[in-house]
A and B are shown apart, each in its own frame.
Chain A
Amino acid sequence: MEQLIWAASAECDPATDIICKPEFVNELFETPVIFSIGGFDVNRAMLLMLLAAVVVVGLLFFAFRKPRVVPTRFGTAMEGLVGFVRDEIAVGIIGHDGIKYFPYLLSVFLFILVGNLFEVTPFINFPITSRMAIPASLAVLTYVIFVFVGFAKNGMSYLGGIIWPKSVPIGLRPLVGLIEFVSTFLIRPLTLAVRLFANLVAGHVMLTLLLGSGWIFLSHVADIGPRAAIGLGWFLIGMAIFFFEIAVAVLQAYIFTLLSAVYIQTSVHPEH
């Protein structure tokens, strides 16, 4: 099988580890520089990040540019999305104070949603959230917000409530406090970033492998004859995963926003 793929691919260099990959496969680990501005190298992921930001701003701008009594279909859809983030996530999780954090949650939700959906957008096919830098920066943003809010709302009793929890027996307090401290200040931002990153990497790798091998087999039907039919199987499985990934993209954007809201909520009302 490997021999077949090597033979079917365009550039075969048996000296390297990754032999005969199609050009588009390795984008996850290599970042070819497109152009440089004064020492800053710009690659495709950065351009896509800008595009995602522009798309988010454009969506909101065109949906709410002029309010109408009877909104257009597009306006209704955006109102539903924004209303969902406001009612279900911001106010629903955090409570009445939640409306203060609604702009942040909405921005994060829409940016991650658009970034995730780049995975299944034709001709882009690259989720920007599968580059660790982007989920990590967003997680650090949430981390800074919930730690800052915790100290601003509760003073030092926020830290005290975590490392010396009043609700457990006194003998267990050092142990529970240590676990709580590590889980709040170290594990939370780490898992928040890794969850989004790993889901999107897994999806992207799966799609790349399945559709890529399907493409390799089917496009070399002249060289390998009827054996190219294997590619049809890969392609069909890849298309099934493709639609599954749309659901994953939406769900992961929702979960990131939901967890950000939950973390902020635990800082606003630490007793609950």
Chain B
Amino acid sequence: MEDISGALALIGYGLGAIGPGIGIGIVAGNAVQAMARQPEAANMVRTTMFLGIAFTEALALIGFVLFFIA
């Protein structure tokens, strides 16, 4: 088992990145839609979008760090 542990961590990170990837897509896509519908609210939407992306991205980043720890 010892020699495949590195590869397992890679697969784990790949699996962990699926959910946040979809999530960031949804956040950014809906933000673009909101900005296109209401351009005057673009500033507020952009700030909120970065917040949403930051929260979603955290999961993928924890997976990235676990890859080093594991």
B8 located at the interface, meaning its Cβ lies under 8 Å from any Cβ of chain A in the complex: no
A140 located at the interface, meaning its Cβ lies under 8 Å from any Cβ of chain B in the complex: no
Q: Is the CB of A92 within 8 A of B47?
A: yes
Contacts of A195 in B (CB 8 A): 54, 57-58, 61
A78 located at the interface, meaning its Cβ lies under 8 Å from any Cβ of chain B in the complex: no
A71, chain B: closest CB distance, angstroms? 24
B36 located at the interface, meaning its Cβ lies under 8 Å from any Cβ of chain A in the complex: no
A159 located at the interface, meaning its Cβ lies under 8 Å from any Cβ of chain B in the complex: no
Q: Could you tell me the dominant secondary structure of chain A's interface residues?
A: helix
Contacts of B50 in A (CB 8 A): 251, 254-255, 258
Q: Is the CB of A191 within 8 A of B47?
A: no
Q: Is the CB of B58 within 8 A of A194?
A: yes
Q: Is the CB of A199 within 8 A of B61?
A: yes
Q: Is the CB of B62 within 8 A of A194?
A: yes
CA A202 to CA B57, docked complex, whole Å: 13
CA A199 to CA B60, docked complex, whole Å: 10
CB contact list, B27-70 vs A, under 8 A: 43, 47, 50-51, 54-55, 57-58, 61-62, 64-65, 68
Q: Is the CB of B61 within 8 A of A191?
A: yes
Q: How many residues of A contact B (CB 8 A)?
A: 17
Size band of the B side of the interface? 10 to 19
A88 located at the interface, meaning its Cβ lies under 8 Å from any Cβ of chain B in the complex: yes
CA A127 to CA B48, docked complex, whole Å: 27
Q: Is the CB of B58 within 8 A of A262?
A: no
Contacts of A194 in B (CB 8 A): 58, 61-62, 65
A23, chain B: closest CB distance, angstroms? 22
Contacts of B55 in A (CB 8 A): 191
A259 located at the interface, meaning its Cβ lies under 8 Å from any Cβ of chain B in the complex: yes
CB contact list, A75-111 vs B, under 8 A: 88, 92-93
Contacts of A262 in B (CB 8 A): 51
CA A93 to CA B44, docked complex, whole Å: 10
CA A255 to CA B58, docked complex, whole Å: 12
CA A259 to CA B55, docked complex, whole Å: 9
Please name the residue on chain A nearest to B57 by beta carbon: A195
Instruction: With A195-B58, A202-B64 given, name 15 new contacts (CB 8 A).
Output: A93-B47, A191-B61, A191-B62, A194-B58, A194-B61, A195-B57, A197-B65, A198-B61, A201-B68, A251-B50, A254-B50, A255-B50, A258-B51, A259-B51, A259-B54
